[in-house]
Homo-oligomer: A and B are copies of this chain.
Amino acid sequence: MADQPDLSRRRLLGYAGAGAAVGAAGFASGIGTARATDGDTGSADRYPFHGSHQAGVLTPAQDRLHFAAFDITARSRSELVMLLRRWTDAAAAMTQGRPVGSGTPLPYDSPPADTGEALGLPPSRLTLTFGFGPSLFRDADGRDRFGLADRQPRALRRLPHFPADLLDPARSDGDLCVQACADDPQVAVHAIRNLSRLAFGSAALRWAQLGFGRTSSTSTRQATPRNLLGFKDGTANLKAEDADAGEHVWVRDGDDDRAPWLAGGSYLVARRINMSIEPWDRTSLSEQERLIGRDRAEGAPLSGGQEFSRPDFHLTGSDGQPLIATTSHVRLAHPSQNHGAKLLRRGYNFTDGNDALGRLDAGLFFIAFVRDPDTQYVPMQTRLSRDDGLMEYLKHTGSGLFAVPPGTRPGEHVGQALFAGG
């Protein structure tokens, strides 16, 4: 059905309009990395599902997130593959604005194939990005669950314990993950709900996270958003337009002799980072800026200039101290201080109510895509967790590492190469 973009939710409901037409044109741009030909402006309302890479990685970050991790309850490899086939068909439909199962009408006395709450809504640039956790390959006792252990990527293991980690197992890990991003949260929630439903009997939702606002720009056409500390963060983030973006994000042929199936894929790092909002809000602006290493109003580095000026880590003030403190976040996270390591940040602000003392349960759901977590993420996070002055206001409460298989071509299922010929 993926080649029938005219069967959109709008059309099914008898609507027609400019949005639908533009969307169809966007789809016709065809196979390949998802891309927005018009940047940030919202006139193209869908991204292609099929392609050589999965969408939702170098795709300009959408406004809202629903992230979900699943535990597989299926006992056999064939049952797992069936699940991935169902998910693939549903993802191909939903990302194009069609309801699940739209190709196969059901009798009136059956439960509807689609849960319905996105009927009439545009695709809202929905992307669904799938990942495989280390436990898919070997369980906690080291058992090869689905005959995949010899294909486990070498870098795919639980992230190490970082200093000051306070991880909640109920918000960490998982056999499978799905990142749903869309400009309308109802569309993202609808997608995760329908994938959960299709998983019934084969996989169960382990944990999920809603993110209400993107905290990263992944395109030079997007303004840098603010995190809940009130600062622009990730200004130096890798952008889709950067000539070397693919090099830092996509696994290449030959990167991993054990997992050739991962070429064209990536690794997804997820970290739920709670912010100590109330203490932060009682900190002076000068101290906040010192901890971040940028000014708050513009996001300019404290060494001077504007937001996108290159930070000068050598420049000192009248007191002889570096203008950008040695323990500042911007210094410790900057590629120039991390052997050139860059990552594609694609995180979201979250708020999950409050604790019994009335303190907000809020922060950053950090997501990053990297070609190799062992060189691009682990060393940097080790340094940040140990030395970043900001850590006084941060608590890492959830964690996951997932291998993101390459894109899916029409007729294939998500992760097909992992299972092929096994």
Contact = CB atoms under 8 A, between A and B. Distances in A.
Interface of A: 13, 64, 66, 71, 106, 108-112, 114-120, 170, 184-186, 189, 193, 196-197, 200, 204-210, 212-213, 223, 225-231, 277-278, 281-286, 288, 296-298, 349, 351-354, 356-360, 362
A212 B226 contact: no
A186 B349 contact: yes
Nearest to A277: B193
A149 B402 CA distance: 58
Contacts of A193: 228, 277, 360, 362
A354 B213 contact: no
Given A117-B227, A117-B228, A117-B349, A186 B213 contact: yes
Given A230-B116, A230-B119, A360-B193, A353 B284 contact: no
Contact of A286 (B108, B189, B229, B359): B108
Given A119-B297, A206-B358, A357-B204, A212 B185 contact: yes
Given A204-B358, A281-B197, A296 B353 contact: no
Contacts of A170: 356
11 contacts: A13-B297, A108-B284, A116-B230, A117-B230, A120-B223, A189-B228, A189-B351, A193-B228, A207-B353, A209-B353, A212-B212
Determine which residue in A231, A278, A281, A296 has the highest number of CB atoms from chain B within 10 A of its CB, and name it: A281
Copies of this chain in its oligomeric complex: 2
Nearest to A199: B358
A196 B349 CA distance: 18
A230 B197 CA distance: 14
A360 B196 contact: yes
Nearest to A185: B212
A120 B207 CA distance: 33
A195 B305 CA distance: 33
Give the 5 A-B residue pairs with the shortest CB-CB distance, closest first.
A116-B230, A204-B358, A205-B358, A185-B212, A186-B213
A208 to B, nearest CB: 5
Nearest to A70: B358
B117 A226 contact: yes
B205 A360 contact: yes
B230 A213 contact: no
A208 B353 contact: yes
A275 to B, nearest CB: 11
Contacts of A106: 285
A360 B189 CA distance: 10
A115 B118 CA distance: 34
Nearest to A355: B205
A112 B282 CA distance: 8
A178 to B, nearest CB: 13
A111 B185 contact: no
A351 B284 contact: no
A196 B111 contact: no
B108 A278 contact: no
Contacts of A288: 112
B185 A283 contact: no
B209 A284 contact: no
A108 B285 contact: yes
Contacts of A297: 13, 119
Given A110-B284, A196-B360, A210-B212, 20 more contacts: A71-B358, A106-B285, A112-B285, A112-B288, A116-B296, A117-B228, A118-B226, A119-B226, A186-B225, A189-B213, A189-B349, A189-B351, A193-B360, A204-B357, A204-B358, A205-B358, A208-B351, A208-B354, A212-B212, A352-B352
Contacts of A223: 120
Given A227-B117, A297-B119, A358-B205, A285 B111 contact: yes
Determine which residue in A108, A230, A277, A362 has the highest number of CB atoms from chain B within 10 A of its CB, and name it: A230
Determine which residue in A116, A185, A200, A360 has the highest number of CB atoms from chain B within 10 A of its CB, and name it: A116
A62 to B, nearest CB: 13
